[in-house]
Amino acid sequence: MVQHRGALGDEDVVTTNGLTHTSGTRAALEVASMPTIDLEHGLVVVNSLLHRGVTTVEKLAQAADEAAHWPYTLSIPRLLALADGRVETVGESRTLYLCHIERIPLPVPQVAITDHTGLVFARVDFAWPDLGVFLEFDGKIKYQGALVDGTDVTSVVLAEKRREERIIEATGWRVIRITWADLAHPERIAERIRTVLAAAARRAG
């Protein structure tokens, strides 16, 4: 069966600022079932919609059940098993996918870091708390977004370095930093992550 046109229910259409469009749930479902979209790219879109609060995993699961007769939907349960609204950026979604496809234990997104008083002073992109390892994805936006009038790039980078040092001092954890360039060679960064996690497991054991 080839679907040429899908019927839209009342819940599939919403209006925002006078513009009528498909709901976040419907949009996510359609993207996830496109034959030209693979799991990685589908995860990026779905995580973004989840993070923005325009749909939920529960709503997506229900919609996927109702659209089980659609073509190209067999991978949707796998996608929803990975989807997480705590993931904030494209780089983070791709990092999560990398861990999945390389069979690395999935890290916890957006882990809060507290000081000795219990005050949260930082959040890390991902962490394996039981192993004492955290991972930060370094995209340009992380640094460009911190720039304000009178602040240069060097100051922003040094501030991030101080933040990292404070996290390590508070937790004793080891850090892994990856970039867009690393994602271009997933097998290399995956091996690096495995090495760090294995060393951490030996210390913990």
Domain-terminating residue out of 35, 57, 85:
85
What value does the mean pLDDT take over residues 9-20? 89
In a domain, residue 78? The reply is: yes
DSSP string across 42-96: HHHHHHHHHHTTS--HHHHHHHHHHTTTSTT-TTHHHHHHH--TT--SHHHHHHH
Residues 67 and 109 in one domain: no
Partners of 187 in the β-ladder: none
Please state the domain count of the chain.
2
pLDDT at 69: 84
pLDDT digits (tens, 9 = 90+) for 73-89: 889 999 999 999 999 99
Q: How far apart are CA 200 and CA 132, in angstroms?
A: 7
CA quadruple 104, 108, 110, 114: dihedral, nearest 10: -120
Q: What angle separates helix 39-51 from helix 90-101, to the nearest 10 degrees?
A: 130
SS3 content of the chain, % helix, strand, coil (to 5): 50, 20, 30
Beta-carbon contacts of residue 103 (< 8 Å; ≥ 6 apart): none
57 band by pLDDT with thresholds 50, 70 and 90: very high
Residues 16 and 109 in one domain: no
Partners of 127 in the β-ladder: 108, 134
b vs e for 99-127, b when ≥16 Cβ sit within 10 Å of the residue's Cβ?
A: bbeeebeebebbbebeeeeeeeebebbbb
Domain-terminating residue out of 85, 112, 135:
85
pLDDT at 155: 76
Domain-terminating residue out of 85, 110, 145:
85
In a domain, residue 46? The reply is: yes
In a domain, residue 32? The reply is: yes
pLDDT at 144: 52
pTM of model > 0.75 = yes
Partners of 133 in the β-ladder: 128, 174
pLDDT at 140: 58
pLDDT digits (tens, 9 = 90+) for 146-203: 555 556 667 777 888 899 999 999 999 999 999 999 999 999 999 999 999 999 999 9
CATH no. for residue 118?
Answer: 3.40.960
DSSP string across 84-120: -TT--SHHHHHHHHHHHHTTPPPPEEEEEEE-TTS-E
Q: How far apart are CA 163 and CA 196, in angstroms?
A: 21
In a domain, residue 2? The reply is: no
Domain range holding 125? 102-204
